Amino acid sequence: MKTVKIPSQNKTYTIGKIVCLARNYADHIKELGNETPAAPVLFMKPATSVIGDGEAVRIPSYSTECHYEVELAVLIGSEGRNVPVETALQYVAGYGVAIDMTLRDVQNHLKGKGLPWEIAKGFDTACPLSDFVPAEAIADPHALTLKLAVNGEERQNGCSSDMINTIPRIIAHVSSIFTLEPGDILLTGTPSGVGAVVAGDVMTAEIVSVGRITIPVA
Ligand code: MG
């Protein structure tokens, strides 16, 4: 079973479902040539896709184009259903750094056929994840700098203030469809600058004052 930690509180959570937003930053929507969705576009990754700091991403043999997407991860701390926007942040236990690894060639092929994306997004090692900092330690989760470098070269540098759907809106929307439980994780979308990595590359993903992970590609 996969777990995540809030080390400063000595707390461990068994990971439940990982609900992810696609297209939540305008500049990233533009770079992929997508339309801005009327409602949040959701998909899920299984807990088995999670790896920790220092563990390697393994690109499946059915893809030749594996992209990184640095994202703010939100750890849910209590059960909630139909959570109102006004109280949504009370359900957050902590914040972390995630990379939404995406097989872009496979995703584009599936999208074109109107088929689901799971094999492009949920494969083993597709969700590198840091330890979490407690929610109380982050004064404003919508004022965080997200960065990703490949082999030391900066590729992504964005701010969580540019999210289209804010964290309370995401929690309200997701919890109107799926009951949220402690250990569930929300990935809140990526800013622009996504691109491919190949075996031998090393990714460093950082959210300032939240955390940093170093993830090699095997
Ligand atoms: Mg993403």
State in Å: Cα 121 to ligand 1 middle.
9
Alpha carbons 125 and 45: distance in angstroms, whole number: 10
Q: What is the per-residue burial (b if ≥16 Cβ within 10 Å, else e) of 23-58?
A: bbbeebbeeeeeeeeeebebbbbbbebbbeeebebb
Q: Tokens at residue 74, please?
A: 């939100």
Q: What are the pLDDT digits (tens) for 53-63?
A: 999 999 999 99
Give me the pLDDT at residue 58, please.
98
Q: Rounded mean pLDDT of 162-169?
A: 96
Give me the pLDDT at residue 165, please.
95
State in Å: Cα 7 to ligand 1 middle.
26
Give me the pLDDT at residue 59, please.
98
Q: What are the pLDDT digits (tens) for 71-98?
A: 999 999 999 999 999 999 999 999 999 9
Q: Which residues lie across from 44 on neighbouring strands? A: 19
Quickly state the pLDDT bin for 161 (edges 50, 70, 90).
very high
Residue 204: is its pLDDT beyond 90? yes
Element of type H or E holding 106: helix 104-113
Q: Are 197 and 203 a contacting pair, CB within 8 Å?
A: yes
Classify burial at 213, counting beta carbons within 10 Å of its beta carbon; exposed 0-12, middle 13-18, buried 19 or more.
buried
Residue 37: is its pLDDT beyond 90? no
* Domains observed in the chain: 3-216 (3.90.850.10)
Tokens 């088929």, located at residue: 115
Q: Rounded mean pLDDT of 156-180?
A: 97
Q: Which residues lie across from 197 on neighbouring strands? A: 66
The percent of residues in the chain predicted with pLDDT above 70, rounded, is 100
State in Å: Cα 73 to ligand 1 middle.
11
Q: Tokens at residue 114, please?
A: 């109107």
